Structure 1
Amino acid sequence: MNRAIAAALAGALILTLAACGFRLQGTAPLPGGVDSVRVTFDQPYGVAEPPLVLVLEQRLRARGALGGGDADARLHIAEINTRRRLLAVSPEDARGAAYELETEAVFDLRIGGKTRLAHESLTVRREYSFDDTARLAAEAEREELEQAMQAELADLILLRLDAVDAAE
């Protein structure tokens, strides 16, 4: 009897989540008529792709929607800006104790040669504290935080692409 009630409750929960528009992260659909997206980024002085571009490509590949030169849509990452701002100073030695990290992505979307999004900008901010006694660990934490922020930006960009259909 308890199993039947638990199964009924689980089914009701699943139906409720489906009805409210809930989707697992990374499963948002692409705009109508778009089966593949090519991600581009101009980096004149860099060697490797930034984490944002790599995560976007990974998410699209997982959906089977990463395209090459013949893709239906082109997502161009125009800028990735990461800034660090001092929030607090240690009273012991007057060194930085807390910082704010901000990563901004500016991007364009073209579908079938037509610009659908131009110079869209999304920003993610995080704060972290800095322990001067563990400087190497703090730098590693900052780098991990920056990568996590760029992964979050990738998810936000894909959600923004999903909203393109509703806008037009």
Structure 2
Amino acid sequence: MIKKSNLIINVAIVFVIFFCLISCNKTKKEELKQYLTNDSMAMWDITMKNFVELKDTSYYHHYYKSYLIYSNFVCDKFAKSRDGNRFIEFLGPKPNLIGLCNQWEIKNDSTIILNCKDVFVVKIINRDTLYLFDTLGIKKHEMYRDKTPWNIDEESVLIKNKQVESGEYLDPYIY
């Protein structure tokens, strides 16, 4: 009788330990979310480039974007000036005329959707650097975590919030 009770106790202990191990391990999605949001929010910078071809010359035009990624799956997009100031783009929770919104989601262990439209496979290089690949495996962007102060233009945020509240950001004539 004592052996049966010891066996039951041992099985129960093993079950509890196994349950604790399973519940303590983060999934890949949770790790990706934590990495992108720094547990609450994180600012990421991207250098963008467009190829410009004129009649007598061609060149790459470089400009800068920033993404403020929140743990509640909001993703604010900013234009970043050369002097480091950030101006928010007028995106809200519903997709606008060109399909952009201020939301993000994790599709699977390494794939994210930014602003309701752009699908990227994320490759983490280190704590402050990641690469974004398109679904064909072509590297599209390098993102770098930015430290505070973020120099967000407060006036642009107030205008954006007013437009989101009124629904004006969905007006096709804003662009």
TM range (shorter): under 0.3
TM-score (norm 1): 0.26
Q: Higher relative contact order by CA 8 Å / sep ≥ 6: 1 or 2? A: 1
TM-score (norm 2): 0.25
When you count strand as a share of all residues, which structure comes out higher? 2
When you count helix as a share of all residues, which structure comes out higher? 1
